[in-house]
Chain A
Amino acid sequence: MSYLELNLDLTDEQLMLRDNIRKFALEVMRPTAMKLDQMTPEEVIAPDSIFWDCMKQAYKLGLHKILIPEEYGGLGLSPIEVHMVVEEMGYGSSDIAIALGVSCFPAFLASMVPTDELINNIIVPYCEDTEAKIMGCWAITEPDHGSDSLAPGTAQFKDPNIYGQCRARLEGDEWVINGQKAAWVSMGTAATHAMVYLTIDPSMGFAGGGICLVPLDLPGVSRGKPLNKLGQRALNQGEIYFDNVRVPYEYMLVDQESYEAILDITLATANAYVAAVFTGVARSAYEEALNYARQRVQGGKPLVEHQHVRYKLFHMFKTVEACRALSRAAMVYNLSTSPPATEYSIASKVFCTDAAFQVAHEAIQIFGGNGLAKEYAIEKIFRDARAGMIEDGSNDSLALFASERLI
């Protein structure tokens, strides 16, 4: 189902782009994610899993490179187009939308500091990939540091007593990496490359970090078991371990001199992306409820004809529209402004993920008992929405950290 496009400046091409992605989201992403949801995490990433068929189709459409500039073969979408596409992907399935989002991390960051080596060996091959053979991930959180690692701009981020355990030290012209990243690294189990956010100078606390592009086939890299979890089960997650992993000097894209600022840009981009995904999730929950309420008859008439149900549907509709308005505005601003106003991306992430959960919760109520049954998409959407309130930063911590920017 479509929505009324309130932006009258969009072109026919932009609307067509949105509609094409919606078709893919509904016909491929959602049914695939529904099936994967019922599998074990090991089955989800097994070589013959339907996950890979879906990823291949997504790569063929270029959905893995929406943030990468055209110069290297990326889609080079404008900020508003990025939002429209990501919302549709989230509408199809948040888990696969997130998998595609993290996949572009190494190539996207490399495109901010493009050397010939990075262009030829990382960015261009990634853009040319139509078989989902190259897949990135964002390895930042650690078993002992979740929220701590996502708090740039706060006093605790510079506290020398709090720093990440995954460390890099320079030896000659190589960086040597040791440590572990959390079981929560999305696609950590299957990615070929990781953007690892690690500690270089612990005396600066978390601010003494660096961002290193690590090909995950290097000696000394190993992986954890795929994580079994409540929602977004099509998104595989797991630890990455580094045991004296040697990485060429220039693969440390950012060092402690600019780590905090680049993390801030990362967070502004990632939170804006997640907000767009969960605008789509909220919309999918609303539509599931609306469609169900049109068909289900109780008290001799369809649920939609009961005033209380209609009242709920109106508030769900209103919430979805508010999600789109805020998340689009934040994404368009922050993908057009450097340094970004990160508090707006955080506001949109917190708002849209809270809203998606609330809308999914109301939708389940409208479904009654059927809302709890696995055969209805809303059951999965509800669990997926719950995970959104923690991924990319717990909403509580994000709100607290962003509040420091307001005072």
Chain B
Amino acid sequence: MIFESTAKMYDVLGELFNELMKDQPLYQKFIDSDITIRFNISDPDGYIWLTRDGKVICGEADYKPTIEMTLSGDTCHKFWLQEIKMPVALAKGLIKAKGPLPKVLNLLPLIKPAYVIYPDIAKKHGIL
């Protein structure tokens, strides 16, 4: 298990998403897409929310998600390191998505900046 605890996972992934939301064009695109995403993470268990008003929340929260992505902490880590591709993750059942397909597909281009910054964040937290 790459994240030794839920707290550690929130530190790393929380930083990733907060950094992304600081990117003005990306933030604007996210706001325009008018969606709330909930990542349901296992091993370690936890939730991360990206809310339609641009907030990043780690843990339980009272929002209605438009999209839910269910995956493990290890899959998260590998995904942001580009060690696992989306079709393969879907094929192997590593990522399960719930939410209108066009909205899910809309998000894919937003993922790119995360690929760029994640390795440094992972290194900083001693997991790479």
Which residues of A does B touch, CB under 8 Å?
Answer: 67-71, 74, 76-79, 111-114, 119, 253-254, 257-262, 265, 335-339
Contacts and interface: CB of A to CB of B under 8 A. Distances in A.
Interface in B98-124: 98-106, 108-109
Interface string B44-75: 00000000000000000000000000000000
Interface residues of B, number: 23
B82 to A, nearest CB: 12
Contact of B90 (A119, A253, A265, A336): A265
B111 to A, nearest CB: 9
B125 interface: no
Contacts of A338: 90, 95-98, 101, 104
B91 interface: yes
Contacts of B101: 67, 79, 335-336, 338
Contacts of A79: 100-101
Contact of A78 (B90, B91, B92, B100): B100
B22 interface: no
Given A69-B102, A76-B106, A261 B91 contact: yes
B87 interface: yes
Given A76-B106, A337-B96, 19 more contacts: A69-B103, A69-B105, A70-B102, A71-B29, A76-B103, A77-B102, A119-B109, A253-B87, A258-B88, A258-B90, A258-B92, A261-B90, A261-B91, A262-B91, A336-B98, A337-B98, A338-B95, A338-B96, A338-B101
Nearest to B111: A114
Nearest to A336: B100
B72 to A, nearest CB: 16
Contacts of A257: 87-88, 91
Contact of A337 (B86, B97, B109): B97
25 contacts: A67-B101, A69-B102, A69-B103, A69-B106, A71-B29, A71-B105, A71-B109, A76-B103, A77-B102, A78-B102, A79-B100, A112-B86, A112-B105, A113-B87, A253-B87, A257-B91, A258-B87, A258-B90, A258-B91, A259-B91, A265-B90, A336-B99, A336-B101, A337-B97, A338-B90
A70 B103 CA distance: 8
A257 B92 CA distance: 9
Contacts of A70: 102, 106
B95 to A, nearest CB: 8
A254 B86 CA distance: 10
Interface of B: 29, 85-88, 90-93, 95-106, 108-109
Main secondary structure of the interface of A (DSSP, over half): loop
Most buried by A among B88, B98, B104, B105: B105
A210 B85 CA distance: 15
Contacts of A111: 105, 108
Nearest to A78: B100
B23 to A, nearest CB: 16
Contacts of A261: 87, 90-92
A339 B100 contact: no
A69 B29 CA distance: 13
Contacts of B100: 78-79, 335-336
A304 B88 CA distance: 56
Most chain B CB within a 10 A radius of its CB, from A258, A336, A338: A338
Nearest to A75: B102
B110 to A, nearest CB: 9
Given A111-B108, A337-B97, A338-B96, A262 B102 contact: no
Nearest to A337: B98
A71 B111 CA distance: 13
Nearest to B95: A338
Q: Which of B85, B86, B101, B104 has the most CB of A within 10 A?
A: B101
Given A114-B109, A337-B97, A339-B96, A76 B102 contact: yes
Given A70-B102, A119-B109, A262 B97 contact: no
Given A336-B99, A338-B96, A71 B106 contact: yes
Nearest to B67: A336
A260 B99 contact: no
Contacts of B87: 112-113, 253-254, 257-258, 261-262
Contacts of B103: 69, 76
A289 to B, nearest CB: 36
